[in-house]
Protein backbone atom coordinates (compact mmCIF):
# COMPACT_ATOMS: atom_id res chain seq x y z
CA UNK A 1 0.00 0.00 0.00
CA UNK A 2 1.01 3.63 -0.35
CA UNK A 3 3.32 4.77 2.46
CA UNK A 4 1.10 7.83 3.06
CA UNK A 5 -1.93 5.62 3.72
CA UNK A 6 0.13 3.34 6.00
CA UNK A 7 1.21 6.42 7.94
CA UNK A 8 -2.45 7.40 8.25
CA UNK A 9 -3.32 4.04 9.84
CA UNK A 10 -0.36 4.17 12.22
CA UNK A 11 -1.27 7.68 13.28
CA UNK A 12 -4.88 6.63 13.90
CA UNK A 13 -3.64 3.80 16.11
CA UNK A 14 -1.49 6.23 18.10
CA UNK A 15 -4.38 8.66 18.59
CA UNK A 16 -6.70 5.89 19.73
CA UNK A 17 -4.05 4.60 22.14
CA UNK A 18 -3.88 8.13 23.60
CA UNK A 19 -7.68 8.04 24.07
CA UNK A 20 -8.24 10.74 21.44
CA UNK A 21 -11.22 10.77 19.13
CA UNK A 22 -10.40 10.65 15.44
CA UNK A 23 -11.96 9.80 12.11
CA UNK A 24 -10.70 8.14 8.95
CA UNK A 25 -11.65 9.74 5.63
CA UNK A 26 -11.47 7.60 2.47
CA UNK A 27 -11.96 8.58 -1.17
CA UNK A 28 -14.58 6.14 -2.45
CA UNK A 29 -15.64 7.70 -5.75
CA UNK A 30 -14.57 10.49 -8.11
CA UNK A 31 -15.99 12.12 -11.24
CA UNK A 32 -13.96 14.25 -13.62
CA UNK A 33 -10.51 15.28 -12.43
CA UNK A 34 -9.42 14.47 -8.89
CA UNK A 35 -6.05 15.24 -7.23
CA UNK A 36 -6.04 11.97 -5.24
CA UNK A 37 -7.08 8.48 -6.36
CA UNK A 38 -9.88 6.27 -5.08
CA UNK A 39 -8.73 4.64 -1.84
CA UNK A 40 -6.62 7.60 -0.69
CA UNK A 41 -7.03 8.32 3.02
CA UNK A 42 -6.88 11.13 5.53
CA UNK A 43 -7.11 11.03 9.33
CA UNK A 44 -8.34 13.92 11.48
CA UNK A 45 -7.90 14.13 15.25
CA UNK A 46 -10.39 15.90 17.49
CA UNK A 47 -7.77 18.59 18.17
CA UNK A 48 -7.53 19.43 14.44
CA UNK A 49 -4.34 17.55 13.65
CA UNK A 50 -4.37 15.83 10.28
CA UNK A 51 -2.30 13.30 8.35
CA UNK A 52 -2.75 12.09 4.78
CA UNK A 53 -4.60 13.70 1.90
CA UNK A 54 -7.79 13.30 -0.10
CA UNK A 55 -7.64 16.37 -2.33
CA UNK A 56 -4.30 18.10 -2.07
CA UNK A 57 -5.49 20.63 0.52
CA UNK A 58 -8.75 22.24 -0.58
CA UNK A 59 -11.24 19.77 0.91
CA UNK A 60 -8.99 19.04 3.90
CA UNK A 61 -9.46 22.64 5.10
CA UNK A 62 -13.24 22.22 5.10
CA UNK A 63 -13.08 18.85 6.90
CA UNK A 64 -10.73 20.23 9.56
CA UNK A 65 -12.93 23.28 10.12
CA UNK A 66 -15.94 20.99 10.45
CA UNK A 67 -14.19 18.94 13.16
CA UNK A 68 -13.07 22.05 15.02
CA UNK A 69 -16.59 23.48 14.89
CA UNK A 70 -18.63 20.35 15.64
CA UNK A 71 -16.11 17.90 17.10
CA UNK A 72 -16.25 14.20 16.27
CA UNK A 73 -19.61 13.24 17.70
CA UNK A 74 -20.99 10.79 15.14
CA UNK A 75 -20.84 7.11 16.00
CA UNK A 76 -21.65 5.78 12.53
CA UNK A 77 -19.92 6.44 9.19
CA UNK A 78 -21.13 9.21 6.93
CA UNK A 79 -20.90 9.66 3.16
CA UNK A 80 -20.24 13.20 1.93
CA UNK A 81 -19.67 14.69 -1.53
CA UNK A 82 -17.74 17.76 -2.63
CA UNK A 83 -17.77 19.62 -5.92
CA UNK A 84 -21.20 18.69 -7.22
CA UNK A 85 -22.03 22.20 -8.40
CA UNK A 86 -19.84 24.61 -10.35
CA UNK A 87 -19.78 26.93 -7.31
CA UNK A 88 -18.56 24.10 -5.06
CA UNK A 89 -15.94 23.05 -7.62
CA UNK A 90 -14.65 26.64 -7.64
CA UNK A 91 -14.84 26.92 -3.85
CA UNK A 92 -12.94 23.73 -3.13
CA UNK A 93 -10.49 24.05 -5.98
CA UNK A 94 -11.51 20.87 -7.77
CA UNK A 95 -10.09 20.99 -11.31
CA UNK A 96 -12.33 20.74 -14.34
CA UNK A 97 -15.48 20.62 -12.21
CA UNK A 98 -14.42 17.36 -10.58
CA UNK A 99 -16.51 15.71 -7.86
CA UNK A 100 -15.29 13.56 -5.00
CA UNK A 101 -17.24 11.26 -2.65
CA UNK A 102 -15.80 10.50 0.78
CA UNK A 103 -16.52 8.07 3.60
CA UNK A 104 -16.10 9.66 7.06
CA UNK A 105 -15.55 6.93 9.63
CA UNK A 106 -15.36 7.65 13.39
CA UNK A 107 -12.77 5.27 14.83
CA UNK A 108 -12.69 3.26 18.02
CA UNK A 109 -11.68 -0.19 19.29
CA UNK A 110 -14.34 -1.71 17.00
CA UNK A 111 -12.43 -0.33 13.97
CA UNK A 112 -9.70 -3.00 14.37
CA UNK A 113 -6.90 -0.67 13.29
CA UNK A 114 -4.28 -2.39 15.48
CA UNK A 115 -5.18 -5.80 14.08
CA UNK A 116 -5.03 -4.45 10.53
CA UNK A 117 -1.55 -3.03 11.15
CA UNK A 118 -0.38 -6.36 12.61
CA UNK A 119 -1.54 -8.22 9.51
CA UNK A 120 0.08 -5.64 7.22
CA UNK A 121 3.36 -6.02 9.15
CA UNK A 122 3.15 -9.74 8.32
CA UNK A 123 2.98 -8.80 4.59
CA UNK A 124 -0.63 -9.92 4.29
CA UNK A 125 -2.99 -8.46 1.70
CA UNK A 126 -6.09 -7.54 3.70
CA UNK A 127 -9.66 -6.65 2.76
CA UNK A 128 -11.31 -4.40 5.35
CA UNK A 129 -15.11 -4.37 5.19
CA UNK A 130 -16.85 -1.41 6.85
CA UNK A 131 -20.58 -1.56 7.52
CA UNK A 132 -21.72 1.96 6.67
CA UNK A 133 -24.79 1.62 8.85
CA UNK A 134 -23.30 0.33 12.09
CA UNK A 135 -19.58 1.05 11.74
CA UNK A 136 -18.71 -2.62 12.35
CA UNK A 137 -15.51 -3.83 10.68
CA UNK A 138 -14.50 -7.24 9.33
CA UNK A 139 -10.99 -8.20 8.19
CA UNK A 140 -10.13 -11.04 5.83
CA UNK A 141 -7.43 -12.01 3.41
CA UNK A 142 -7.91 -10.16 0.12
CA UNK A 143 -7.60 -11.64 -3.31
CA UNK A 144 -4.74 -10.29 -5.49
CA UNK A 145 -5.86 -7.50 -7.80
CA UNK A 146 -8.92 -6.59 -5.76
CA UNK A 147 -9.84 -2.90 -5.61
CA UNK A 148 -11.98 -0.68 -3.40
CA UNK A 149 -15.67 -1.29 -3.91
CA UNK A 150 -18.97 -0.34 -2.33
CA UNK A 151 -21.52 -3.12 -1.99
CA UNK A 152 -24.72 -1.48 -0.84
CA UNK A 153 -24.11 -0.55 2.80
CA UNK A 154 -20.65 -2.11 2.84
CA UNK A 155 -17.38 -0.43 1.88
CA UNK A 156 -14.53 -2.84 1.11
CA UNK A 157 -11.02 -1.37 1.05
CA UNK A 158 -7.77 -3.15 0.22
CA UNK A 159 -4.59 -2.75 2.28
CA UNK A 160 -0.94 -3.81 1.90
CA UNK A 161 1.57 -5.16 1.42
CA UNK A 162 4.14 -2.66 0.14
CA UNK A 163 5.67 -3.08 -3.29
CA UNK A 164 8.90 -5.10 -3.14
CA UNK A 165 12.09 -4.81 -5.19
CA UNK A 166 14.90 -7.36 -5.22
CA UNK A 167 18.17 -6.05 -6.66
CA UNK A 168 20.86 -8.55 -7.68
CA UNK A 169 24.28 -6.96 -7.17
CA UNK A 170 25.58 -4.42 -4.66
CA UNK A 171 27.50 -2.01 -6.89
CA UNK A 172 27.15 1.74 -7.35
CA UNK A 173 24.11 1.50 -9.61
CA UNK A 174 22.40 -0.77 -7.08
CA UNK A 175 22.90 1.84 -4.36
CA UNK A 176 21.37 4.55 -6.52
CA UNK A 177 18.45 2.33 -7.52
CA UNK A 178 17.85 1.28 -3.91
CA UNK A 179 17.86 4.87 -2.66
CA UNK A 180 15.35 6.11 -5.23
CA UNK A 181 13.14 3.00 -4.95
CA UNK A 182 13.01 3.37 -1.17
CA UNK A 183 11.81 6.96 -1.61
CA UNK A 184 9.09 5.57 -3.90
CA UNK A 185 7.93 3.27 -1.06
CA UNK A 186 9.44 0.02 -2.32
CA UNK A 187 10.65 -2.42 0.30
CA UNK A 188 14.11 -3.05 -1.18
CA UNK A 189 16.33 -6.09 -0.69
CA UNK A 190 19.79 -6.34 -2.26
CA UNK A 191 21.43 -9.71 -2.86
CA UNK A 192 25.13 -10.19 -3.59
CA UNK A 193 27.14 -13.23 -2.41
CA UNK A 194 30.46 -11.70 -3.50
CA UNK A 195 32.70 -10.96 -0.52
CA UNK A 196 34.32 -7.90 -2.10
CA UNK A 197 31.01 -6.02 -2.23
CA UNK A 198 30.04 -6.46 1.43
CA UNK A 199 32.27 -3.80 3.02
CA UNK A 200 31.22 -1.11 0.54
CA UNK A 201 27.47 -1.33 1.19
CA UNK A 202 26.43 1.89 2.90
CA UNK A 203 22.62 1.94 3.07
CA UNK A 204 21.65 0.89 6.60
CA UNK A 205 17.91 0.82 5.81
CA UNK A 206 18.35 -1.55 2.86
CA UNK A 207 19.37 -5.09 3.82
CA UNK A 208 22.21 -6.75 1.90
CA UNK A 209 21.73 -10.53 1.70
CA UNK A 210 24.76 -12.69 1.00
CA UNK A 211 22.98 -15.88 -0.14
CA UNK A 212 22.87 -17.10 -3.73
CA UNK A 213 20.38 -15.05 -5.78
CA UNK A 214 18.20 -17.96 -6.89
CA UNK A 215 17.78 -19.04 -3.27
CA UNK A 216 16.75 -15.52 -2.29
CA UNK A 217 14.20 -15.36 -5.12
CA UNK A 218 12.61 -18.60 -3.96
CA UNK A 219 12.63 -17.55 -0.30
CA UNK A 220 10.90 -14.24 -1.06
CA UNK A 221 7.91 -15.97 -2.70
CA UNK A 222 7.57 -13.19 -5.26
CA UNK A 223 4.03 -12.01 -6.00
CA UNK A 224 2.35 -9.53 -8.33
CA UNK A 225 3.61 -6.63 -6.19
CA UNK A 226 7.25 -7.69 -6.61
CA UNK A 227 10.01 -6.71 -9.05
CA UNK A 228 13.47 -8.16 -9.72
CA UNK A 229 16.38 -6.27 -11.29
CA UNK A 230 19.66 -8.05 -12.10
CA UNK A 231 22.66 -5.70 -12.21
CA UNK A 232 25.88 -7.72 -11.74
CA UNK A 233 26.79 -8.42 -15.40
CA UNK A 234 27.79 -11.89 -14.11
CA UNK A 235 25.70 -14.65 -15.76
CA UNK A 236 26.41 -16.99 -12.85
CA UNK A 237 24.53 -14.60 -10.58
CA UNK A 238 22.07 -12.77 -12.82
CA UNK A 239 20.92 -15.77 -14.84
CA UNK A 240 20.31 -17.93 -11.77
CA UNK A 241 18.10 -15.26 -10.24
CA UNK A 242 16.27 -14.61 -13.50
CA UNK A 243 15.67 -18.32 -14.06
CA UNK A 244 13.56 -18.49 -10.89
CA UNK A 245 12.08 -14.99 -11.09
CA UNK A 246 10.66 -15.56 -14.57
CA UNK A 247 8.60 -18.44 -13.16
CA UNK A 248 7.09 -16.19 -10.49
CA UNK A 249 4.21 -13.71 -10.52
CA UNK A 250 6.55 -10.70 -10.27
CA UNK A 251 5.17 -7.77 -12.30
CA UNK A 252 8.62 -6.71 -13.55
CA UNK A 253 11.84 -8.64 -14.21
CA UNK A 254 14.76 -6.86 -15.84
CA UNK A 255 18.47 -7.31 -16.51
CA UNK A 256 21.13 -4.76 -17.33
CA UNK A 257 23.21 -5.04 -20.51
CA UNK A 258 23.19 -4.17 -24.18
CA UNK A 259 20.76 -5.63 -26.69
CA UNK A 260 23.41 -8.07 -27.86
CA UNK A 261 24.15 -9.26 -24.33
CA UNK A 262 20.48 -9.59 -23.49
CA UNK A 263 19.92 -11.65 -26.64
CA UNK A 264 22.71 -13.95 -25.49
CA UNK A 265 21.09 -14.10 -22.07
CA UNK A 266 17.79 -15.17 -23.59
CA UNK A 267 19.60 -17.91 -25.51
CA UNK A 268 21.15 -19.15 -22.24
CA UNK A 269 17.78 -19.09 -20.49
CA UNK A 270 16.37 -21.37 -23.19
CA UNK A 271 18.61 -24.11 -21.78
CA UNK A 272 16.66 -24.07 -18.52
CA UNK A 273 13.10 -25.28 -17.88
CA UNK A 274 11.52 -22.02 -19.01
CA UNK A 275 8.81 -21.57 -21.60
CA UNK A 276 9.13 -19.02 -24.43
CA UNK A 277 6.36 -17.02 -22.76
CA UNK A 278 8.31 -16.87 -19.50
CA UNK A 279 11.51 -15.77 -21.24
CA UNK A 280 9.56 -13.10 -23.11
CA UNK A 281 8.72 -11.48 -19.76
CA UNK A 282 12.35 -10.38 -19.36
CA UNK A 283 12.95 -6.64 -19.80
CA UNK A 284 16.34 -6.13 -21.35
CA UNK A 285 17.91 -3.78 -22.19
CA UNK A 286 16.50 -2.50 -18.94
CA UNK A 287 14.83 0.87 -18.41
CA UNK A 288 13.04 3.45 -20.52
CA UNK A 289 15.26 5.14 -23.08
CA UNK A 290 16.13 8.61 -21.75
CA UNK A 291 19.72 8.82 -22.97
CA UNK A 292 20.95 7.79 -19.52
CA UNK A 293 24.71 7.51 -18.90
CA UNK A 294 25.38 7.97 -15.18
CA UNK A 295 24.24 5.61 -12.38
CA UNK A 296 21.55 8.05 -11.11
CA UNK A 297 20.18 8.51 -14.64
CA UNK A 298 20.17 4.76 -15.26
CA UNK A 299 18.39 4.17 -11.94
CA UNK A 300 15.73 6.71 -12.92
CA UNK A 301 15.25 5.04 -16.31
CA UNK A 302 14.79 1.64 -14.65
CA UNK A 303 12.26 2.93 -12.15
CA UNK A 304 10.46 4.86 -14.89
CA UNK A 305 9.90 1.63 -16.81
CA UNK A 306 8.90 -0.23 -13.64
CA UNK A 307 6.40 2.52 -12.79
CA UNK A 308 4.90 2.46 -16.28
CA UNK A 309 4.44 -1.32 -16.12
CA UNK A 310 3.04 -1.15 -12.58
CA UNK A 311 0.56 1.53 -13.57
CA UNK A 312 -0.51 -0.24 -16.76
CA UNK A 313 0.65 2.47 -19.15
CA UNK A 314 -0.31 1.24 -22.64
CA UNK A 315 2.30 0.73 -25.37
CA UNK A 316 5.24 1.61 -23.11
CA UNK A 317 7.17 -1.44 -24.29
CA UNK A 318 6.65 -0.70 -27.97
CA UNK A 319 7.62 2.95 -27.51
CA UNK A 320 10.74 2.04 -25.56
CA UNK A 321 11.78 -0.65 -28.05
CA UNK A 322 11.46 1.73 -30.99
CA UNK A 323 13.52 4.41 -29.21
CA UNK A 324 16.22 1.90 -28.29
CA UNK A 325 16.57 0.54 -31.79
CA UNK A 326 16.99 4.05 -33.15
CA UNK A 327 19.93 4.76 -30.86
CA UNK A 328 23.26 3.22 -29.93
CA UNK A 329 24.22 2.06 -27.34
CA UNK A 330 21.32 0.44 -25.43
CA UNK A 331 18.89 2.50 -23.36
CA UNK A 332 20.39 1.93 -19.94
CA UNK A 333 23.80 0.37 -20.17
CA UNK A 334 26.12 -0.17 -23.14
CA UNK A 335 27.89 -3.19 -21.74
For the segment 20-68, what is each residue's pLDDT rounded down to a tens digit? 999 999 999 887 656 678 899 999 999 989 999 888 667 888 899 999 9
* All CATH 3.40.50.720 domain ranges in the chain, comma separated: 164-325
Confidence of residue 85 (pLDDT cuts 50, 70, 90): low
Q: Tell which CATH classification among 3.40.50.150, 3.10.105.10, 3.40.50.720, 3.20.20.70 matches the domain 164-325.
A: 3.40.50.720
Cα distance between residue 202 and residue 175, in whole Å: 8
Question: Which tens digit of pLDDT belongs to each residue from 193-235?
Answer: 998 887 788 888 899 999 999 999 999 999 888 999 999 999 9
Residue 328 confidence class, pLDDT cut points 50, 70, 90: very low
List phi, psi (to 5°) of 24: -105, 130
d(CA 240, CA 268): 11
The answer to whether 59 and 25 have CB atoms below 8 angstroms apart is no
- What pLDDT is attached to residue 95? 55
Q: What is the pLDDT of residues 307-323, one digit of tens each?
A: 999 988 876 655 555 55
pLDDT of residue 312: 85
Amino acid sequence: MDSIDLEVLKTCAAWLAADLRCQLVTVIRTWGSSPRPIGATLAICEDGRVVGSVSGGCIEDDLIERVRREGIVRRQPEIVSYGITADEAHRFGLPCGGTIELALEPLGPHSRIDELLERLAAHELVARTLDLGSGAVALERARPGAVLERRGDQLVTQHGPRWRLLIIGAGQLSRMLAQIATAMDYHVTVCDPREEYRAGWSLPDVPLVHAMPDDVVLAMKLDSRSAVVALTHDPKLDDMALMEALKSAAFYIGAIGSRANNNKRRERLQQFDLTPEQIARLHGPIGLYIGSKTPPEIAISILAEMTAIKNGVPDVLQINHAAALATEPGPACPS
